Amino acid sequence: MAEQQKPSKPRAKRRRPTKKRWFVLVVVIGLMVGGVAGFFLNKAVSNRKASPAPKQSATIKASSATKAKIESSATTEKAKPVNKTELAASLGWGEVSSGNTSKKQIALTFDGAAGATSTTAFLDVLKDADLHCTFFLAGQFADSYPDIAKRIVAEGHELGNHSDAHRYFTRLKANQVQAQVQGAEDKIQKLTGVSTKPYFRFPYGSRNEQLIKQVNDLGYISVYWTYDTQDWQKNASSEMLHSRVMSNASPGAIILMHCDSPHEPEALPGIIKDLQAAGYKLVTLTEVLTP
C-alpha cells in the first residue's frame, strides 16, 4: 500500500516593503550621505581658513613698510643736522686730535693761510670723488683768494678758523689772540655767509693750556691732528704723501694737509681710492667727531 505523502506547506509569499519602510530607508540613506558630504565640506573649509597668505604678498608688504621706515628715518636725519656747538660741549671743549675710533672713518682737513698753489686743482679732485672735507681758513686767505673761499663753501665743505694772519700764538698777548680769532671769523663770515665756529686750529700747532682755554672761551674747540702728511716739506712728493697717509691710517684719524702744497692734486686721487678700498669712509670733521 503506497505510503501517503504529507501535504507540503505552502510557500510563504514575499512581503513587499510597505510605504513606511521605504520612507525610513530613504531617510537613513539621506542622513548617511549628508553626514559624509558634511564631513568633507567642513574639512575643506577648515583647510582653506588655515592656509597662510601667499609668501610673495607678505614679502611685498614687508618691503613696502621697511622702505617707508627707511625713507622716514632719512628725512628725519636730514631735518636735524648736527649742532656743532653742542657737539663741542659734549666733547668737553678743550682740544681734540682724533675722532670716534669705533667707526672706520677718516677726516681729511686742509689748512689755508698765505698760499693756494693747488687748491683749485684738488677741489676738482674732491668734487669728482663726491667728498666733503674740512678747511681751516685764515683771514688773509679769504682776503687773497675770495673766489676760492666761496667755492669751498659752495661745494659743501666745512669751515674752521685758522686765525687772521697765521702767527705763532705763543708769542701773542691775550688781546692779540682774541683779535686774531675774531678777525678771521668776521672776514670769512662776511665773505661766505658761514661761521667758522666752533672749530679752531692753531697756526703751526703752536699752543699751550692757557691758549686752548682762551679759544674755548671764545666759542671754539681746539682741533689738532692725528698725524701730519708733512706736505709742506721741501722734499715732499706725492708718493711720500700717499705712503704717509696709508701707513698711519686708523679709525677716527684727523689728517693734516695744506692748500698751498703742489703735491695734493697728484696725491689725492690715489689716497682717496686706497683709503676707500681699505674700508674707510672719508668724512668731515663734524662727522668724525660725532659719537
Distance, in Å, from the CA atom of 58 to the CA atom of 38, rounded to the nearest integer, reads: 33
Query: Among the options 231, 258, 260, 263, which is catalytic?
Result: 258
CB 248 within 8 A of CB 278: no
Is 128 annotated as catalytic?
no
Q: Is 207 left (phi over 0), alpha (psi -120 to 50) or beta?
A: beta
Distance, in Å, from the CA atom of 136 to the CA atom of 181, rounded to the nearest integer, reads: 12
* Total count of residues recorded for the chain: 291
Is 143 annotated as catalytic?
no
- CA-based radius of gyration for the chain: 43
CB 215 within 8 A of CB 181: yes
First to last CA, the chain: 137
Active-site residue list: 111, 258
